[in-house]
Structure 1
Amino acid sequence: MVVKSQIKFIKNLQQKKYRNEHKLFVAEGIKLVRELLASDFEVYGIYTTDLGLLQDTEGVEHISESELQKMSGLKSPNKILAVFHFPTERELKVTDWVVVLDDVRDPGNLGTIIRLCDWFGIDQLVCSLNTVDCFNPKTLQATMGSVSRVNIIYTDVVRFLKRTEMPVYGAFMDGNTVYKEEFPKNGVLVMGNEANGVSAEVEALIAKKIAIPQFGKSNTESLNVATATAILLNEIRRG
């Protein structure tokens, strides 16, 4: 049985300030937990109402459904919860395409973009300091485990873009159509904030503005940032 202080400690990790303080995050659901256990992430603790889910894993603690409910950040907990240490910061390697996020705030969007980077073989994701936390519970759920395979770095993106020697592309409504663009082997793709797009300070550092043309006659203002990222990465990988 877990003690009350342990339950409270894990529950507090649902909040960003406690995650950053203790360098720990919570993962929920068997698929996500298994993906992270198979990665280089160091485990802090595993808690489940069903020991049969991880029969070959040591250190799994059996808990009651009520205890899981108190720890979980979900309305309907998925039988298992694990706590992991933050990964060791890795050096940014710019040998391929890099995606840069300029203040993406929605956890689901970030999670989907992390998953897209994994799908399209983009190893490096650079996030502005105001981009949502990649260990946000909703972000983690949306990554479906891809968070363990993409190097995610939070930094001053203006400084990063000033220093990079690779061509910098940015997604804009008034950019050149992506379907006529010939992309190089290496480059940087900048995606902007959901409501405001790319900031003026970042825009000044973008060499080429690209856009996804609209074919319909609807009054849709723009595509969701994760959807737009998927289309642009597909075109980049098509060469």
Structure 2
Amino acid sequence: MLTAHKIKIFQSLDKRKFRQKYNLFLVEGNKTIKEIPTSKFKIQEVFSVDPSALTLDAKASEISAAELKKISFLQNPKDSVAVCEILENIELPQTGVQLVLDGIQDPGNLGTIIRLADWFGISQIICSEDTADFYNPKVIQASMGSFLRVNIVYTDLELYLKKSTFDIIGTDMQGEDLYSYQFPEKFNLVLGNEGNGMRDTTEKFLTNRITIPRFGKSQSTESLNVAMSAGIILGQIFGKK
């Protein structure tokens, strides 16, 4: 049952401190909600305007479109909202290419990068402690369900990179041409902050640098969006495999 107290709690989950307080986050849309049971995430409750459209072990409570709008973070709410439990931050062994995010701030960028990782079969992303919160509703929406299949770890990047036994590759305007560079089988690909790039404390651990060459003659475009850069680089990496 969707009570006034629950509505107040769910509405507060757009802020990190309340997600941490209640250990909860929201997932919206039948398509993604149907995938949750096959993932590591646990559903606490489901609210739907049409519960019959969902086939879940967790029973969905029927609510009105007006009630859905009250608990949705979307301008045009979808059909259902699932209340899920936040997972413990656990690092898994590195199995191949791994993304390392240094201070990515935009939730949309993080969600898109998670989606790219899922598309290219990357199982884990390591994030600096100040990277956008993975459970932010905008991140969850932008990932389009890919958050269910990619492990996200927040940690002290300097300590993490210091102990890494694999190559650490980052982007640099003076780096080697992406299209001629020979990537190793296992490595960390570092992506820096949208405005400032990677920090000096991260850059000092790079073992190699690559750059995406500019083919256009216009100089008005100074740089590429970080998620766009990730897509170009990953396409080249896996296109060679």
TM-score after normalising by structure 1? 0.95
The answer to whether structure 1 residue 224 and structure 2 residue 225 are counterparts is yes
Measured against aligned partners, the alpha-carbon deviations of 1:25-45 in whole angstroms (never above 9, x if no partner) come to: 001112221222332211011
- Aligned partners of 2:136 and 2:58: how far apart in 1? 26
> Within 1, Cα distance between the matches of 2:88 and 2:34?
19
Q: In the aligned structure 2, how far is the partner of 1:111 from the partner of 1:56? A: 25
In 1: Cα distance, 2:171 partner to 2:20 partner: 31
1:66-116 CA distance string (max 9 Å, x none): 211111111211121111011243332122111100000111110010011
Q: Determine the structure 1 residue equivalent to 2:179.
A: 179
Structure 1 residues 188-214: Cα deviation after superposition (integer angstroms, max 9, x where no partner): 100001111111111111111111000
Q: TM-score, normalised by structure 2?
A: 0.95
Q: Is the 8 A contact 1:31 1:144 kept in 2?
A: no
Partner residue, 2:109: 109
Output aligned runs, 1:111-130, within 5 Å: 111-130=111-130
Q: Which residue of 1 aligns with 2:236?
A: 235
In the alignment, the residues of structure 2 paired with residue 2 and residue 126 of structure 1 have an alpha-carbon distance, to the nearest angstrom, of 36
What is the alpha-carbon distance in structure 1 between the residues aligned to residue 13 and residue 104 of structure 2? 22
Asked if 1 retains the 8 angstrom alpha-carbon contact of 2:176 and 2:210, the reply is yes
Secondary structure at 1:66 match in 2 = helix
Q: Which residue of structure 1 aligns with residue 84 of structure 2? A: 84
Change in Cα spacing, 1:223 to 1:51, as seen in structure 2 (3 Å) is same
CA drift at 1:57: 4.4
Q: Which moved more, 1:185-194 or 1:227-236?
A: 227-236
| Corresponding pairs, count | 239
CA distance in 2, matches of 1:124, 1:40: 14
Specify the code of the residue in structure 1 equivalent to 2:168: V
Match for 1:224: what amino acid?
Answer: N
The separation in 2 between residues aligned to 1:39 and 1:163, in whole angstroms, is 29
CA RMSD of aligned residues (A): 1.4
> Residue deviations 1:163-200, cap 9 Å, x none?
10101100122211111111111001000011111111
Match of 2:136 in 1: 136
Between the two proteins, what is the percent identity of the paired residues? 42
What does the per-residue CA deviation read over 1:97-146, in whole Å, with 9 as the maximum and x for residues that have no partner?
A: 11100000111110010011111111110000110011111111111111
The residue number in structure 2 matching 1:51 is 51
Separation in structure 1 between the aligned mates of residue 71 and residue 6 of structure 2, nearest angstrom: 9
Secondary structure of 1:122's partner? coil
Please tell me the residue identity of whatever aligns with 1:129: E
Please state how far the C-alpha of 1:50 moved relative to its aligned partner. Answer: 1.3
Counterparts of 1:161 and 1:38, CA distance in 2: 32
Residue ranges of structure 1 left out of the alignment (5+ in a row): none
Deviation at 1:148, TM superposition (A): 1.0
Amino acid at match of 2:104: V
1:167-206, aligned counterparts within 5 Å? 167-206=167-206
- Relative distance call for 1:93 and 1:62 in structure 2 (3 A) is same
- Determine if contact 1:172/1:197 at 8 Å carries over to the other structure: no
